[in-house]
């Protein structure tokens, strides 16, 4: 008897969790998702360019090693180029 009550309670919790997840699309979460999409789309050109030259040039390789795992915007990538003194690469990204 206790096992059946426990099973019913677990099923109820699961269904409530599913309901909560489906209703969790608030305005704040939607804005966060849109912002992440914008950051990824704007920096994809810089990412692609740096990734393509990372196998050809040392400055591209160094920069790619720094940004490949992070989520950097184009402006952040430009700042890293300035800090490292990669002026030629900075000109290609801009």
Between 85 and 43, the higher pLDDT residue: 85
Secondary structure of the chain in HEC code, one letter for each residue: CHHHHHHHHHHHHHHHHHHHHHHCCCHHHHHHHHHHHHHHHHHHHHHHHHHHHCCCCHHHHHHHHHHCCCCCCHHHHHHHHHHHCCHHHHHHHC
Supply the range of the domain harboring residue 48: 26-93
73, part of any domain: yes
Domain count, the chain: 1
55, part of any domain: yes
83, part of any domain: yes
Looking at residue 24, its pLDDT comes to 57
47, part of any domain: yes
Q: Tell me: the pLDDT tens digits for 34-64?
A: 555 555 544 468 888 898 999 999 999 999 9
């Amino acid at each position: 008897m206790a096992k059946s009550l426990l099973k019913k309670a677990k099923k109820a919790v699961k269904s409530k969790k599913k309901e909560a997840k489906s209703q969790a699309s608030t305005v704040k979460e939607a804005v966060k998702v849109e912002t992440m999409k914008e950051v990824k789309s704007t920096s994809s050109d810089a990412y692609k360019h740096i990734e393509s030259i990372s196998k050809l040039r040392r400055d591209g390789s160094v920069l790619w090693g720094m940004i490949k795992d992070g989520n950097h915007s184009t402006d952040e990538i430009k700042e890293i180029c300035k800090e490292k003194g990669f002026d030629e690469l900075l000109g290609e990204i801009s």
